[in-house]
Amino acid sequence: MLIFTLLINASHGRSPPQFHAGGDNFLLPADNSTVDINIDKTELLLDFYSKTESDTIVENTQVTADTEFKILRMWCDGILLEPWFKNHAVYQPRYFAGYLEQCPDAPTIITAPYQFNFPGTIVWSWQGQFWDWYFDHKNKFEVINFLEQEPDRVWKFRGSLDPCADLVTKIKQVLDL
C-alpha cells in the first residue's frame, strides 16, 4: 500500500472542487490544503467530478471566480517526489457543451497538466513496484558523471535499499567505546 500526499491549491467559484481517489471523496477548501490517498494499484487516479458550467462566475465577459485546483507538490510514503513526477500525469477533461461550441478542437488528452479547470480524470501510472519504477524513470533526468570509468556509480548514486549490516555493526562498536 502506498500513501500519496498532495499539496493542492484550490479556488472556489459557486462551489468547492471535489474529487474521488483511492475509494475516498475529497472536498477541497479554498487556498492550500493537503490530502492523503491510499493506493494499492499501479496508478493514482483522481476523478474531478463536482464542477459544473455554472460554477464559473463571469461578470462583464470576464471570469471573476472559478472552481478549479492545481497540485503544488506530491509525496509518496512521506518522501517528497521530484517535480517531474507531478507532470507525469495524463488529464482527460470532460468539457462542457458551451466550451466545446467555442473550442471544438479542444484536446481530449492533456499530458503534463498544471491546472484542472474542467471535470475529468487525472492519472499517474507506472509499471511494477512504484519505487523501482520511480528510480528508473528518475535516472532519465539525472546527469551522473564518469559512468564510463565506474559503471556501478549509478547504484552508488541511488544508494541501497538493503540494510548495511557491517556498517551498523561498526557503528555499534564505536558507540560502545
Mean pLDDT (the chain) is 86
pLDDT exceeds cutoff 90 at 160: no
Report if residue 36 sits inside a domain.
yes
Q: What are phi and psi of 149, to 5 degrees?
A: -80, -30
C-alpha distances out from residue 171 to 52, 156, 175, Å: 60, 20, 6
What is the number of domains present in the chain? 1
- Quick one: average pLDDT of 42-49? 94
- Quick one: average pLDDT of 19-43? 94
CATH number at residue 72: 2.60.60.40
Full-model pTM = 0.77
Domain of 15 in residue numbering reads as 2-139
Report if residue 81 sits inside a domain.
yes
Report if residue 130 sits inside a domain.
yes
Give residue for cell 507525469.
88
pLDDT value for 149: 67
Give residue for cell 510514503.
77
pLDDT band per the 50, 70, 90 thresholds, residue 153: low
